Structure 1
């Protein structure tokens, strides 16, 4: 039976400093694996597809199995801007708030919200590029943007629509980023700390798996309304673009309040494994950093 000192030691290990980009690398690896599900989620939210299976079949029918990787360079751009920033900002916000593993949930959520606000702005151009590239092949041929890759998309947006196009949908995106980081990052830290207080878990992959599973479900539900709005606003260009309030009014009028949770199942099926992959990979990358540091000390 563990003593109270053992429990405290297990739940609150000594704080270590890791490279700021480690979380972004973990998120990029996870997003690459789950890209087909993310692609399907965006197309469900931004087009008239009626279900996840129908949307996947439509993608394969029109573009082949390679179509399931449409826009993956946009996904990489988004993760290496937004995710790098949010993991870094979350750590900095926790330092600013003096928040640790045993801090109350509200303090962790506040740190996550602060990180989300910063990352939502920094990552907005990459977010637009990702959404447009993922949704492009679902449009009629005459309405497609046909971006070659993420940098082509970025340059064409500035050239054809002006620099302000990089901030399209920034409001819903920042709101979603705040909700995502307050629910995903903070809830992972919270659930992990709670699990480590019990006698059943140690700080290992089993604990990371359970904590990330819970965090993924919380994050999907909390972020769904802002996620739907973001996809619908960002998928339009030029004359197709609509204001946030116009999109909300039209969606309420045509679909009712439940439009805010349209695509929840594919969103959960995408975000759940993504969340688990992010945190499990993140923890393993931290172990790798620890291992390399140990090797350097032994030399």
Structure 2
């Protein structure tokens, strides 16, 4: 039979203290994901611009569309509407990364959570962010697609905030909700596929002997997440672009857009612009997560923590 005295831990040598318990890791700033997304979107803006113009106009090929933009507006034309992109990222992306982290707490999705829990958290975050970020989404799509239209049909917004004020003044406050349902649906798909699949692929890669928690792991996981997200989101992305670009009465109805598109182009219209969408979303996804991981490293460094 054991004795309490015999089982007790041996006394510490004179002058030594018990090691301090490990500090609980502090959460990262809620806006970190939005900053990472804004940086990534600024770099890949020309590809996003081309994708939107392919979806909303009669352009047939990515290179052809890019040449048309440069021919008519110069190289600077590849950055048309970038203030709309910034507005969208600092509303939608800030919200979605914050909501995703909070949603993971709600569903109990830890570091090695199953895919369905991560997808559930991503879906919740997407629903919230899609609604909050809808005005910024409209502004971004309109500013990017403006120069693809005939001069008499252009909106000619000066910048993102000018677009918001003019929409409210000229079309009424309800215009800020144009296309909100397909946008929320797309945001749910995007976050359930992009954010959740990145976390899932990263966790699975770290279980193997080939990867550590470093840039190679982050790159591989984000590459896989970008491909999954492009394919899952393509139908809703096409519908969103066409509805938000519509300006005539009754032309923004989701069913009207679907019927007209099916009639003129067939069911494959849902994947129109997949290649430029993948070409844009893939580097954007990679840049977002690589930048986010590095920003987290910077935050840890300023706190004197190490990534664990």
Give the TM-score normalised by the residue count of structure 2: 0.90
SS at match of 1:239: coil
The 2-side partners of 1:178 and 1:15 are apart by 29
2:238 corresponding residue in structure 1? 228
1:20 corresponding residue in structure 2? 30
The 1-side partners of 2:70 and 2:235 are apart by 28
1:192 correspondence with 2:192 = no
2:48 corresponding residue in structure 1? 38
Deviation, 1:238, is: 4.5
1:63 corresponding residue in structure 2? 73
1:288 correspondence with 2:298 = yes
1:139 correspondence with 2:149 = yes
The 1-side partners of 2:231 and 2:223 are apart by 13
Deviation, 1:151, is: 0.5
2:273 corresponding residue in structure 1? 263
The 1-side partners of 2:250 and 2:76 are apart by 28
Deviation, 1:236, is: 1.7
SS at match of 2:249: helix
Aligned mate of 2:259, from 249, 259, 273: 249
Asked which structure has the greater RCO (Cα within 8 Å, sep 6+), the reply is 1
Deviation, 1:239, is: 3.5
The 2-side partners of 1:15 and 1:169 are apart by 40
Could you tell me whether the CA contact under 8 Å between 1:43 and 1:134 is conserved in 2? yes
Deviation, 1:101, is: 1.8
Aligned mate of 1:125, from 115, 119, 135: 135
1:6 corresponding residue in structure 2? none
Unmatched tracts of structure 1, length 5 or more: 1-13
Could you tell me whether the CA contact under 8 Å between 2:48 and 2:280 is conserved in 1? yes
1:54 correspondence with 2:69 = no
1:166 corresponding residue in structure 2? 176
2:95 corresponding residue in structure 1? 85
The 2-side partners of 1:189 and 1:80 are apart by 22
> Could you list the per-position Cα deviations for residues 91-122 of structure 1 after superposition, in whole angstroms to 9, with x for gaps in the alignment?
00000111112111001000000000000000
More displaced stretch, 88-97 vs 241-250? 241-250
1:204 correspondence with 2:214 = yes
SS at match of 1:84: helix
Could you tell me whether the CA contact under 8 Å between 1:70 and 1:134 is conserved in 2? yes
The 1-side partners of 2:156 and 2:248 are apart by 15
Could you tell me whether the CA contact under 8 Å between 1:128 and 1:234 is conserved in 2? yes
Could you tell me whether the CA contact under 8 Å between 2:244 and 2:252 is conserved in 1? no
Structure of larger gyration radius = 2
Unmatched tracts of structure 2, length 5 or more: 1-23
Deviation, 1:16, is: 4.5
Deviation, 1:240, is: 7.4
Q: Flag as ranges the 4+ runs of structure 1 deviating above 3 A.
A: 238-241
Could you tell me whether the CA contact under 8 Å between 1:161 and 1:238 is conserved in 2? no
Deviation, 1:202, is: 0.6
> Could you list the per-position Cα deviations for residues 14-50 of structure 1 after superposition, in whole angstroms to 9, with x for gaps in the alignment?
8641000000000000000000000000000000001
Q: CA RMSD in A?
A: 1.1
The 1-side partners of 2:224 and 2:193 are apart by 10
Give the TM-score normalised by the residue count of structure 1: 0.93
